[in-house]
Amino acid sequence: MENILTYMTFIPLAGAVLVLALPNNNHNLIRWVSALATVPPLLLACWLFANFDSSKPGLQFVEKYQWIPAYNISYHMGVDGLSISMVLLTALLCFLCIFASWGIEKAVKGYFALFLLLDAGMMGVFCALDFFLFYIFWEVMLLPMYFLIGIWGGPRREYAAIKFFLYTLFGSVLILLAILALYFSSEPYTFDMTVLIAQADKYGTKTLPIWPFDQWGWGFQHVIWMALFIGFAIKIPAFPFHTWLPDAHVEAPTAISVILAGVLLKMGTYGILRINYPMLPVATADLAYWFLGVLGAWNIIYGALCAMAQKDLKKLVAYSSVSHMGYVMLGMASFTTQGINGAVLQMFNHGTITGMLFLLVGVIYDRAHHRDIEGFGGLAAIMPLYTGVTALAFFASMGLPGLSGFISEVLVLLGTWQKYPVLTILGASGVVLTAGYMLWTIQRVYLGPANEKYLKLPEINGREMFTLVPLGAIVIVVGIYPSVVLDLLRASLDQINQIVLPHLHS
Amino acid sequence: MDLKNLESLSYFWPELILFGTILLISMLDLLMRNGRALAGLAMLGCAASLIATFDLYSAQPGWLFYRMLVLDNFALFFKVFALAALILTIWMSLGSKEIDQVHQGEYYTLLLTCGLGVILMASSSNLLTAYLSLELVSLTSYVLTGFLPHSRRSSEAALKYLIYGGVASGTMIYGMSWIFGMTGSLDYAAIQTALAQNQVSKVALFMAFVFILAGFGYKIVFVPFHMWSPDVYQGAPTPFTAFLSVASNAAGIAIMIRFFFPGVSTMAAGGAWTAVAGVEWPHVLLFVSMITMTVGNLCALNQRNLKRMLAYSGIAHAGYMLMGVAVLSNDGLQAILFYVIVYLIMNLGAFLVVVMIANATGNEDIESYRGLAWRGAVVPAVCLAVFLFSLTGLPPFAGFIGKFFLFAAVLKAGGVFVILAIVAVANSVVSLYYYAKVVKVMFLDFPDPSDKAVAVDRGNVTLLLPLTALTLFFGVYFYPLTYYASQSLRFFIK
C-alpha cells in the first residue's frame, strides 16, 4: 500500500471532478457517485488504523516527492497516531454526511462536488508534512465551505458565510507570515515540517529588532507562536475569536454543520499540537498556561453559559462545541500524559458526539421546520426511537460514565489537576453546567405532554438511522474500551510532549 | 555590444514587425471595412513579432541605436509580456459588442501602437527614450479611452486622463532635467558613473527622484497619482481597459525598475542592490506601497460598478507590486516579474467575463451579475470567481503564489519591512470582502424574475477556459514561471 495517503486525499477530488461530469438532472446518480467516492478513503483509513504500528512514535506511511526543488517545497505526506485519529474521523464523517445530505435538492451537482473538494482538503491538512502543502490544503477548504454555507444555508447564510470566510482568512494570513518567517530562519531554507522541528532549538533565543517585550524574555519564537496560535484559535474557536461559529453553524445545512464541528474545529487544536508544540517548544512552555490553559477553562464555562441561554437548538449545540473544545485546550496545556491524551481523545469524541447532535437537530428540523427549544415538548411520546438516540448523544456529550465523553473529560481533568488545580476546578464546574443545559433541553423538548401540533411527525427513518448508528456505536465502544483510540495516540503524543517538557519551568 | 543605427536594425525585428503591421492595418483600413480581418491581421503581426522576440533570446545583450535602447533579458521579458497582452486583448475585442460599434481599423492601429510603446518603455536605457516611449503609450491611451462614440463617460474619462497625464509627465521631465543638470547625461550608464564619481547634492537628487516617480507613479497607478484610474477604467471600452490595467502597470514597473535599479543603484554579489547613499527613495516607496494598497482596497469596498471596483483593486495590486521594489533585492524584483505575469492572466480573465456579461446585459453594474450562476452562465460565473479569488491571493490559484513570493521577499529583507508585510496581509483580508461580494452576488443571490438568462458566447469561452486553467496550473506548479522570471532579471547595465 504505497501512497495510501495520496489516494485518501485525492480520491474525493477525483470524485468531485467525476460528479461535475455527470448529467445535471440525475440527482440520484450524483448522490451515489459521491457516496462511492467517500468509501475508499474510509476503507483506507480503517486499513491505516489496523496497520499502524502504534508502539513506535514518529511518522509512518511517509511519502515524499520533490515538487518545487528551487524553493525546497516538497510533496511530503505522513501520519502519526494523532493524524490517524483525525483522518479516521474525517473519513467516517464525510461518508456519513453524504447520506445526511440526501435531502439537498438545490443545485445538487454543485453541492456534492464542493463537498468532495472539502473532503479532499481536510484529508490533506491532516496528512501534510510540508508547510507549503499544509497551507494550500488549509486554504483549499475555505472556498467550498464558503459556498456550502452561502448557497445551501439558512436565511442569514450570506452573512454567516462571509463572516466565516473573513475570520478564517485573517487567521490564515497570520499563519502564512509565520510559515515564511520560519522558512527564512531555517538552514537551508525549507518548508519541511520534520526538518523545521529538528531545528527547533534555533528559533529560541533570536531577539527582534523592534520589540517591547524583551524584559519578559519573549523573542522571535513567541511572536511566531502567537501568529500561529491566533490562526489556529480562530478555527478552534477559542474566545474571543469564536463569534463566527454560532452564525456559521446555525445557517449551515445539517451535513455541513457536522463537518464544521466534527472536523474543522479539530484543525485548530491539531495545528497547535502538530506545529506549535514541537516546532516552538520554548514559546509553548511559556505561553501555554495563559493561552491554552486559562483560555481553555474560560472557553468551557463561557461556552456552557452561552449554551444555557440559547433558544435555538442548533445554536445550543454550537455553543456546547465552544465549551467542549475548551477541554481540549485545557488538556493540551497540562503537559501530562493523561491530559494530552485526554485532549486528543476529546477531539475525537467531540467529533463523533457533536456530529450526532447536529444530525439529530437536522432530523427534527427537517420535520418541524424550526428549531425553537420552547416550541416542541413531549417528543418522546411521538418519536420514541429518535428520542432514545438523542438521549444517548446528550448523555455522551455531558460526560455520563460508560460513554466516550466521560473518558476524555476525566482524563483531561486528571491530567490538569497535577499542574493547575484552580483551572481544573473551573473546568470541572463546566461539567455541571453542561449537565444543566443538556438535561434542561431534554426536559423542554422531549419530556412533558406531547405538543398537539406535532402529533403527526414521522419517526426517524432508515437513512437517518444509518448516519447515526455508526457514531452511536463508536460513542459506546470508546466509552467502554477507550484503549482502542488511546493506544493509537500514546506514543505519538508522548513524543510531542517530550519536546516541550524540558523547557517547562514549573 | 554597442551598436550604431543600421547594425541595430537586425536586433529590432519585433518592433519592426509590429510597426509594419500597424502601417499595414491603417492602409488596409482604407480599402476594406472588415473589422474581423483587420483584427486577424493584427493578431498575426503580434504572433510574428513574438516569434522574432523569442529568436532574440540567442542574441548577445547590448545597446542599440547609440545607447538609446538596450537589449537584454529584462527587455525581452516585457516584449513577450506586451505581445501576449496584445494578442489576448485583440481576441477579447473580437468578442465585444462595444468594439463592434467603433471604427475598428483605427482601434487596432492605436492598440498596437500602445503596445509598441510598452515594449519601447521596457527597453529604453536613456531618459529621452524613456520619456518618448512613455508619451507614446500615454497619447494612444488618451485616444483609446475616449474611443466610444456618443458616450459622455468615455469622453470625460479621456479628458481627465489627459490632464492628469500631462501634469505627471511634465513633473517627470522636470525631474529628468535635474538629473541631466547634475550628471550631464541622459544615458543611464553615464548617469550611474557620474553618480558614483561626482559629489552630487543628495537633496537635489532625492527631489529629482521624487519628481520622476510622479511620472512612473501615474503609469503604475500608485497613490497619489491614481485619481484618473477609476474614471478611465469605467469609461474606456472594456477590452482596452483590460489592456491598460495590465500593460500600463507593467510598463510603469518596467521603466521604474530599469531606471532605479540598473540606472542609479549598484548590484553587489548575491542579488542585493545598494541605492545611492543618503538618498532614501526605497523608504519613500515603502510608505507609498502601504498607502497605495490600503487606499485601493478601502475605496474598492463600496463600489457598485465592477469595472470601477477592478480599477481600485488594480491600485491595490500596484501597491503589492511596489513592495518588491521597495525591498531593493533581486528576490523582490523576481517576485514582481512573477506577479506581473500572473496579474496579466487573472485580470484579463476577469475583464473578459465583464465583456461577456456586458454583451448580454449591456451594463457592468455588480447588480446585473445577480444570480449569474443560476441564469445559464455558470461557466463565466465560476471563472470569474476563480479570477477574483486568485486576485485575493487564495491558494490553489496563481495569485496566491504571486503574493507569496512578494511577502517572502519582504520578510526576507526583515527589519522595518516586517511592518510592510503585516500591512499587506491585512490588506489581503480586506480585499477578500469586496471580491467575495461579487462572488456572493453571482452565486449566493438568486435572480429576480426580471433578470433575463445570459447567453454565453462560445468564442469568448474558448479564451476564458485556458486563462482559468492557467490560473489554476500556475497556482499548483509555478516553477516554469519563477524560472522564467529569474532568468529575465539579467540587465545589460548593472
Q: Least CA distance to B474: which residue of chain A?
A: A68
- The answer to whether the Cβ–Cβ distance between B407 and A180 falls below 8 Å is yes
- pLDDT at residue number A208: 61
d(CA B484, CA B493): 20
- The answer to whether the Cβ–Cβ distance between B426 and A173 falls below 8 Å is yes
d(CA B119, CA B16): 12
Q: Is A164 on the interface with B (CB under 8 A)?
A: no
For A446-483, give one letter per residue: b (16+ CB within 10 A) or e. beeeebeebeebeebeeebeebbebbbebbeebbeebe
- Domain residue ranges of chain A, discontinuous segments joined by +: 299-501
d(CA A261, CA A255): 10
Answer yes or no: is pLDDT of B162 > 60: yes
Q: Least CA distance to A134: which residue of chain B?
A: B395
Q: How far is CA B324 from CA B312, B350, B401, in A?
A: 20, 24, 14
- pLDDT at residue number A206: 59
B18-22 mean pLDDT: 94
Hey, is A395 helix, strand or coil?
Answer: helix
- pLDDT at residue number A470: 92
DSSP-assigned letters across all residues of A421-474: HHHHHHHHHHHHHHHHHHHHHHHHHTSSSPPGGGTTPPPP-HHHHHHHHHHHHH
- The answer to whether the Cβ–Cβ distance between B440 and A162 falls below 8 Å is yes
Closest listed residue to residue A293, CA positions, set A225, A337, A340, A260? A340
Q: What is the pLDDT of residues B175-211, one digit of tens each?
A: 999 999 988 889 988 888 888 887 788 889 999 999 9
Closest listed residue to residue B360, CA positions, set B345, B346, B344, B381? B381
- The answer to whether the Cβ–Cβ distance between B394 and A157 falls below 8 Å is no
Answer yes or no: is pLDDT of B350 > 90: yes
- The answer to whether the Cβ–Cβ distance between A177 and B422 falls below 8 Å is yes
Residues of A in contact with B408 (CB under 8 A): 180, 183-184
Q: Is B396 on the interface with A (CB under 8 A)?
A: yes
Q: Is B411 on the interface with A (CB under 8 A)?
A: yes
- pLDDT at residue number B265: 83
- pLDDT at residue number B339: 95
Q: What is the mean pLDDT of chain B?
A: 90
Q: How far is CA A325 from CA A158, A290, A337, A346, A406, in A?
A: 26, 16, 18, 8, 14
- Residue B164, C-alpha cell as written in the block: 492628469
A74 to chain B nearest CA, in Å? 11
B322-339 mean pLDDT: 91
Instruction: Tell me the longest C-alpha to C-alpha distance in chain B.
Output: 74
- The answer to whether the Cβ–Cβ distance between B436 and A165 falls below 8 Å is yes
Residues of B in contact with A107 (CB under 8 A): 374
Q: Looking at this predicted complex, what is its ipTM?
A: 0.90
- The answer to whether the Cβ–Cβ distance between B429 and A169 falls below 8 Å is yes
Determine contact, residues B218/B164, Cβ cutoff 8 Å: yes
d(CA B401, CA A287): 32
- The answer to whether the Cβ–Cβ distance between A162 and B436 falls below 8 Å is yes
Residues of B in contact with A146 (CB under 8 A): 436
Hey, is A336 helix, strand or coil?
Answer: coil
β-strand partners of A312: A372
- The answer to whether the Cβ–Cβ distance between A139 and B394 falls below 8 Å is yes
- Residue A271, C-alpha cell as written in the block: 495545528
Closest listed residue to residue B279, CA positions, set B179, B169, B189? B179
d(CA B329, CA A97): 50
The helix (run of H) or strand (run of E) holding residue A348 is helix A337-368
- pLDDT at residue number A212: 61
Query: For residues B99 and B166, which has the higher predicted lDDT (pLDDT)?
Result: B166
Hey, is A74 helix, strand or coil?
Answer: strand
How would you write the pLDDT of chain A (506 residues) with one tens digit per residue? Answer: 778 889 989 999 999 999 988 888 888 898 999 999 999 999 999 998 888 888 888 888 888 888 888 888 899 999 988 899 999 999 999 999 999 888 888 888 889 999 999 999 999 999 999 999 999 999 998 889 999 998 888 888 889 999 999 999 999 999 999 998 888 888 888 888 888 888 877 776 556 655 566 566 677 888 889 999 999 999 988 888 889 998 999 899 999 999 999 999 999 999 999 999 988 888 888 888 889 999 999 999 999 999 999 888 899 999 999 999 999 999 999 889 899 999 999 999 999 999 999 999 998 888 888 888 888 878 888 888 888 999 999 999 988 888 998 999 999 999 999 888 999 999 899 889 999 999 998 888 888 888 788 888 888 888 888 999 999 999 999 999 998 888 888 888 888 888 888 888 75
Global pTM value: 0.93
Answer yes or no: is pLDDT of B34 > 90: no
Q: What is the pLDDT of residues B131-159, one digit of tens each?
A: 999 999 999 999 999 888 888 889 999 99
Determine contact, residues B328/B265, Cβ cutoff 8 Å: yes
Answer yes or no: is pLDDT of B113 > 90: yes
Residues of B in contact with A183 (CB under 8 A): 408
d(CA A268, CA A236): 5
Closest listed residue to residue B63, CA positions, set B190, B176, B182? B190
Of B411, B426, B440, which has the smallest distance from its Cβ to A158's Cβ? B440
Closest listed residue to residue B364, CA positions, set B302, B409, B307? B307
- The answer to whether the Cβ–Cβ distance between A68 and B478 falls below 8 Å is yes
Closest listed residue to residue A125, CA positions, set A23, A263, A292, A239? A263
